[in-house]
Chain A
């Protein structure tokens, strides 16, 4: 099946403007410029394209929230991609940059914005080479700048680099970071569509989301809805990592099952048995064998109390100690907590400490309850979703693998009894 997003896998040198143009490039933008902004929004709404960064908010609806006639609005591309196990936007940027630019220009036209920024994580500075080149080509060719493609619409388009902060993928943190502040989220409302960058109406879209837009304009919403499922139309890039034979990015229709994804990636490495998946990087609850036939879609994992998120599928085989995996993830969130709100800052800190002692055999049964209690004090009480995300790998691993936690605690207490006996014997 031909790719919709990873078209560079079918067309060599697609990152070059001439090649992109020769393959239908910027036709979507041309089409958009011949329509009214409201019509463009209607087409995207009709396609039911939903945000690919994880939250799944309908893109057209997001655009429609920008007040009509606002004198100054901004479009921001979110290429902060920092979720553990996520590397899809990087490949898009490296290999198919024009499709992102085209999607963002269509968004800018739809919300009447004359300034677009691509917020790229600082670590991707080297990977953004092709994107910078593509942008330069666009400026030279009059696709970016004044009166783009001969229309009366003008738009400037720049890159902006972060400097290492997971939280900047959260849209309000991203806006703060772009404004030159600490990347710390604010409590919504106000929503960015009303008060965003420099307190002006702002659209923040994920890179992959925007790469879907040109095709929708050219081929129409019905074409888009032919792929995927009714609630989750379109294709999705799934990043598969961990214990599979062929880790990498896979572009699949939404609704593909997790079992199919694992098979696509060559199955479990070394003929080992499957144990668990973190389906949304660190940000979603762990799923096990029972959920393998669930669909990778916005609601496919609901019965299994998990989420697709950004579709960063981290696969773990039977050799993995789930307490270790949970500790790795909480370490990540403790490190990346921005420190602004107390439940997240303190909660992630204490959860790491408690998990650390359980893992190293110093925990007690009560510590397992304590983890749940701390998590309970974070859930629904943090400024942004990070605090919520942080609890999910831990809580879900307790839910699915409680015996492993108990064994750690028991081994630790046996060890302590033995130590005390040795100490007592030595004292005699």
Chain B
């Protein structure tokens, strides 16, 4: 359960906001990172932490494109083929990726390793073709680099097993101010706002 596994981080997150509902997107990122997608159980768990109706979390999962409502492959390869990237060969790059992985866009490889998606602008237009894989950017790609990346990810999956570090975990780590580093006054600050 997230509440137990990330107790300190979740407490710190909730303390950031005057209303804890604001923490919902953070918690959804965390839940997806943990369970791979926004399963019904994951949504109920998030809803429970922030006292929301689970249907509200469901509506958020549908609205925001980074949340997946169906299980995905271990690595979700999201290629931007928006106009700026397409001018630099992104559409052809998507076709190539689809051929190499032998799956259509939105498909997942049989071994459950890769899901291929196309997405809207990621802010890497000057380094197209580019993609985002589990929230990490890979840029200035071509066929050879794509093949190398696929190979590298396959190796990583075996070596790291279930202990692969993720971008979401690293970000959530910043929620807590390190005890040793924070001056005593700063630690109390989040709660004390009104009229201070």
Contact surface of A with B, Cβ cutoff 8 Å: 71-72, 81-87, 90, 114-115, 121-129, 132, 135-136, 139-140, 142, 144-147, 154, 156, 158-166, 177-183, 198, 239-243, 247-249, 278, 281-282, 312, 314-316, 320, 325, 328-329, 332, 335-336, 338
Contacts and interface: CB of A to CB of B under 8 A. Distances in A.
B25 A163 contact: yes
B23 A145 contact: no
Given A72-B193, A139-B186, A162-B25, A83 B121 contact: yes
Contact of B171 (A84, A161, A249, A314): A161
Contacts, number: 189
B120 A142 contact: no
Given A145-B183, A145-B189, A161-B26, A278 B64 contact: no
A182 B126 contact: no
13 contacts: A122-B25, A123-B122, A146-B188, A147-B185, A156-B16, A158-B16, A162-B64, A164-B119, A166-B120, A182-B60, A314-B87, A316-B87, A332-B121
Contacts of A125: 29, 135, 167-168, 171
Contacts of B181: 136, 139-140
Looking at B59, B188, B189, which has the most chain A CB atoms within 10 Å of its CB? B189
What size tier do the contact residues of chain B reach? 35 or more
B120 A156 contact: no
Given A163-B28, A239-B126, A325 B16 contact: no
B132 interface: yes
Contacts of A165: 63-65
A85 B135 contact: no
Contacts of A332: 82-83, 120-121
A198 B22 CA distance: 10
Q: Which 5 A-B residue pairings sit nearest by Cβ, starting from the closest? A: A164-B65, A145-B186, A180-B21, A163-B64, A164-B66
A126 B137 CA distance: 8
Contacts of A177: 25
A314 B83 contact: yes
Contacts of A164: 64-67, 119
Contacts of A90: 123
Contacts of B19: 179-180, 198
B21 A179 contact: yes
Interface string B94-119: 00000000000000000000000001
B125 A85 contact: yes
Interface string B1-43: 0000000000000001011011111101100000000000000
